């Protein structure tokens, strides 16, 4: 049987249009059940709290729970790997601290490609890292710290939330630019023993996110020496920068971002993006991030990708020159 040409063309056009209609309907119906947000650090740390703030507000907007699922390990990589292999149905998101493609440089045995297996949604917020010491430490400033490290090469320890994380790399870059030799001690997060060891003086110092360190600094549990941003950061104006404290040119800003499995339907990713950007701009949400030292604010997906590429260029040479290997 032959179809008339006009009828055939009409059927073909309808067939082409159908997937678009279906995708649009899918986005309108989403979410119809809880969405999980994976966080690669233990409950109570900076990344966990940052994830919960945006998750709680999106739960209200979407009228479905956004449930935090903590999967600590490998500096956040464990959670990212779970997200990379999750169903791309719009019900899995992951909070990523910093440039996602750094994991490919730092952890060669990962079983996913961070550049192709995950898709960016939006920036969540930016923040500097911090350098802190125990209250009992004789070190009162960054200059004191550098002097102590030069007097005792290889003996001063610094903790971080894991190999390859932004705080770890901040410490490595600091040591290189200051011309000192300090010893890295990785933890799985401040709540996994890092903070208690810092307070007790079992480690000499810590580089970590403002979300993890700032509350302890402001409550007087530990002494904050400086932030890593090139200029004093808006959410932490009371602390000097490393650059103004003896290491000119030092400038490291990190961030949190939301990602999803790469094949998540584009309409759903767009809705995630639009809603997340909207809530991150709300004054009430910004106020919740301020105690973490995080300046909340969304971004386009392209802008987030460009930020990641720029960050990788910075750290690639640092990783190579320092000979950093997975621990």
Report whether pLDDT(2) > 60: no
In a domain, 16, yes or no: no
pLDDT for the residue 200: 95
Domain CATH code at residue 93: 3.40.190.150
Average pLDDT over residues 257-267: 96
In a domain, 165, yes or no: yes
pLDDT for the residue 50: 95
Report whether pLDDT(18) > 80: no
In a domain, 66, yes or no: yes
Report whether pLDDT(295) > 90: yes
Q: What is the pLDDT of residues 110-155, one digit of tens each?
A: 788 878 899 999 999 999 999 999 999 999 999 999 999 999 999 9
Average pLDDT over residues 266-287: 97
Contact 69, 34 (CB under 8 A): no
Cα–Cα dist 318/204, whole Å: 23
Report whether pLDDT(218) > 80: yes
Report whether pLDDT(265) > 60: yes
Range of the domain at 204: 33-327
From 158-172, 269-283, 288-302, the region with the lowest mean pLDDT: 158-172
**Other CB atoms within 10 Å distance of the CB of residue 291:** 14
In a domain, 11, yes or no: no
Contact 36, 260 (CB under 8 A): no
In a domain, 254, yes or no: yes
Residue 262's Cβ-count burial label (10 Å; 0-12, 13-18, 19+) is middle
Report whether pLDDT(240) > 50: yes
Stretch (H or E) spanning 223: strand 222-227
Pairing relationship of beta strands 118-134 and 35-39 according to DSSP bridges? unpaired
Contact 211, 47 (CB under 8 A): yes
pLDDT for the residue 297: 95
Report whether pLDDT(16) > 80: no
pLDDT for the residue 19: 54
pLDDT for the residue 326: 56
pLDDT for the residue 310: 84
Cα–Cα dist 213/130, whole Å: 7
pLDDT for the residue 233: 95
**Other CB atoms within 10 Å distance of the CB of residue 68:** 17
Tokens of 125: 């917020």
Question: Considering its fold, how many domains does the chain have in total?
Answer: 1
In a domain, 176, yes or no: yes
Report whether pLDDT(103) > 80: no
pLDDT bracket for residue 217 (50, 70, 90): very high
What percentage of residues in the chain have a pLDDT greater than 90?
A: 69
pLDDT for the residue 322: 76
Average pLDDT over residues 73-102: 90
Average pLDDT over residues 207-224: 94
pLDDT for the residue 327: 52
The answer to whether the peptide bond before residue 31 is cis (omega within 30 degrees of 0) is yes
Report whether pLDDT(10) > 60: no
Question: Positive or negative, the Cα torsion across 146, 131, 71, 302?
Answer: negative
Residue 302's Cβ-count burial label (10 Å; 0-12, 13-18, 19+) is exposed
pLDDT bracket for residue 11 (50, 70, 90): very low
Which pairs with CB-CB distance under 8 Å and at least 24 residues apart come from 267-271?
Answer: 267/23, 267/24, 267/26, 267/27, 268/26, 268/27, 268/30, 268/90, 269/90, 269/119, 269/121, 269/301, 270/27, 271/27, 271/30
In a domain, 13, yes or no: no
pLDDT for the residue 12: 47
What does the DSSP 8-state code read for residue 283?
H
In a domain, 110, yes or no: yes
pLDDT for the residue 106: 67
Average pLDDT over residues 80-96: 96
Contact 201, 137 (CB under 8 A): yes
């Amino acid at each position: 049987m032959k179809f008339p040409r006009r009828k055939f063309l009409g059927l073909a056009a309808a067939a082409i249009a159908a997937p678009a209609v279906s995708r649009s309907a899918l986005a309108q119906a989403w979410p119809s059940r809880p969405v999980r947000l994976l966080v690669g650090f233990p409950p109570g740390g900076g990344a966990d709290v940052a994830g919960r703030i945006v998750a709680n507000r999106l739960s209200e907007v979407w009228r479905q729970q956004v449930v935090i699922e903590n999967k600590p390990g490998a500096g956040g990589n464990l959670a990212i790997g779970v997200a990379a292999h999750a169903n791309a149905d719009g019900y899995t998101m992951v909070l990523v601290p910093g440039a996602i493609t750094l994991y490919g440089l730092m952890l060669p045995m990962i079983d996913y490609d961070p550049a192709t297996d995950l898709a960016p949604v939006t920036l969540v917020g930016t923040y500097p890292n911090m350098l802190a010491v125990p209250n009992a430490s004789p070190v009162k400033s960054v200059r004191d710290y550098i002097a102590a490290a030069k007097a005792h090469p290889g003996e001063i320890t610094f903790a971080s939330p894991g190999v390859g994380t932004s705080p770890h790399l901040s410490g490595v870059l600091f040591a290189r630019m200051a011309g000192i030799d300090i010893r890295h001690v990785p933890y799985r997060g401040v709540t996994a023993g890092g903070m208690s060891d810092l307070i007790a003086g079992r480690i000499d110092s810590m580089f970590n996110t403002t979300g993890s360190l700032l509350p302890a600094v402001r409550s007087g549990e530990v002494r904050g020496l400086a932030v890593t941003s090139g200029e004093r950061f808006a959410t932490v104006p009371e602390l000097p920068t490393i650059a103004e404290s003896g290491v000119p040119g030092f400038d490291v800003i990190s961030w949190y971002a939301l990602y999803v499995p790469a094949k998540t339907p584009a309409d759903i990713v767009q809705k995630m993006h639009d809603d997340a950007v909207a809530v991150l701009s709300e004054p009430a949400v910004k106020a919740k991030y301020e105690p973490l030292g995080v300046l909340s604010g969304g971004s386009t997906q392209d802008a987030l990708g460009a930020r990641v590429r720029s960050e990788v260029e910075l750290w690639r040479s640092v990783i190579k020159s320092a000979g950093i290997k997975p621990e």
